[in-house]
């Protein structure tokens, strides 16, 4: 865990048991939905690693590979073939590690959305460059709008010469 995210909270057996009891008290369909919702993140990480268009930098890529190596073990802390609870340790680990991976995963999701809607030309490097440039332009426009909204076009207050109506 701490290879992926050194600042992750420590979790003990009592906490895992408490989460397990909470999960057990949910209706079976709801318990499965809770797990599945979090497990979709794992598939997103797998797609990110497999995507030749995505920048495979060593830091984030190495952390994702380390996490997936644990998650891919079928006989980890709780064997995966145990109904409902078999994936609980995987979900807990993913939740604890997510802060270290969230920004990269969000950037990847944004890149995929951009690639699908804008369909930039070229190879993966060119598509990433187009995405980065468009996002930088959007940021510059947002900063410009903020500066304009915070500035004044004219001084306010009382006019120097008071108008008189006769």
What pLDDT score does 107 carry?
Answer: 94
Same domain? For 90 and 23 the reply is: yes
| Per-residue tokens: 1 | 């865990």
Query: Who has greater pLDDT, 158 or 117?
Result: 117
Same domain? For 22 and 62 the reply is: yes
pLDDT at residue 109 greater than cutoff 90: yes
90: in domain: yes
Helix, strand or coil for residue 100? helix
What pLDDT score does 87 carry?
Answer: 81
What pLDDT score does 106 carry?
Answer: 94
Number of domains in the chain: 2
What are the pLDDT digits (tens) for 76-106?
777 777 877 878 888 888 888 899 899 999 9
Same domain? For 69 and 84 the reply is: yes
74: in domain: yes
The rounded distance, in Å, linking the Cα atoms of 27 and 95 is 22
1: in domain: no
Band of the pLDDT at 156, cuts 50, 70, 90? low
What pLDDT score does 163 carry?
Answer: 67
158: in domain: no
What are the pLDDT digits (tens) for 20-74?
899 889 998 998 898 888 889 999 999 999 999 998 777 678 888 888 988 888 7
37: in domain: yes
Contact 4, 97 (CB under 8 A): yes
Same domain? For 41 and 58 the reply is: yes
Q: Within a 10 A sphere around the Cβ of 105, how many other Cβ atoms?
A: 17
Band of the pLDDT at 110, cuts 50, 70, 90? very high
Same domain? For 113 and 133 the reply is: no
124: in domain: yes
The rounded distance, in Å, linking the Cα atoms of 103 and 120 is 23
The rounded distance, in Å, linking the Cα atoms of 116 and 160 is 58
The rounded distance, in Å, linking the Cα atoms of 72 and 80 is 9
Same domain? For 105 and 91 the reply is: yes
What pLDDT score does 150 carry?
Answer: 84
Contacts of 49 (CB under 8 A, 6+ apart): 56, 61, 64, 65, 68
Same domain? For 53 and 125 the reply is: no
What pLDDT score does 117 carry?
Answer: 95
Band of the pLDDT at 160, cuts 50, 70, 90? low
pLDDT at residue 120 greater than cutoff 80: yes
The rounded distance, in Å, linking the Cα atoms of 78 and 75 is 7
Full residue range of the structural domain in which residue 58 is found: 13-119
What pLDDT score does 113 carry?
Answer: 96
Same domain? For 70 and 136 the reply is: no
């Amino acid at each position: 865990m701490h290879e992926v995210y050194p600042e992750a909270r420590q979790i003990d057996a009592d906490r895992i048991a408490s989460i397990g009891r909470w999960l057990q008290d949910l209706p079976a369909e709801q318990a499965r939905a809770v797990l599945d919702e979090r497990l979709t993140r794992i598939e997103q990480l797998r797609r990110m690693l497999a995507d030749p268009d995505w920048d495979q930098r060593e830091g984030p890529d190495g952390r994702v590979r380390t996490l997936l190596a644990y998650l891919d073990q079928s006989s980890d802390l709780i064997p995966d073939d145990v109904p409902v609870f078999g994936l609980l340790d995987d979900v807990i680990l993913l939740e604890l590690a997510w802060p270290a991976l969230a920004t990269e995963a969000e950037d990847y999701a944004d890149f995929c959305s951009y690639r699908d809607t804008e369909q930039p030309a070229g190879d993966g490097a060119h598509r990433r460059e187009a995405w980065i440039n468009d996002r930088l332009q959007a940021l510059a426009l947002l900063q410009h709008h903020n500066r304009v909204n915070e500035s004044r076009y004219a001084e306010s207050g009382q006019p120097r010469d008071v108008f008189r109506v006769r």
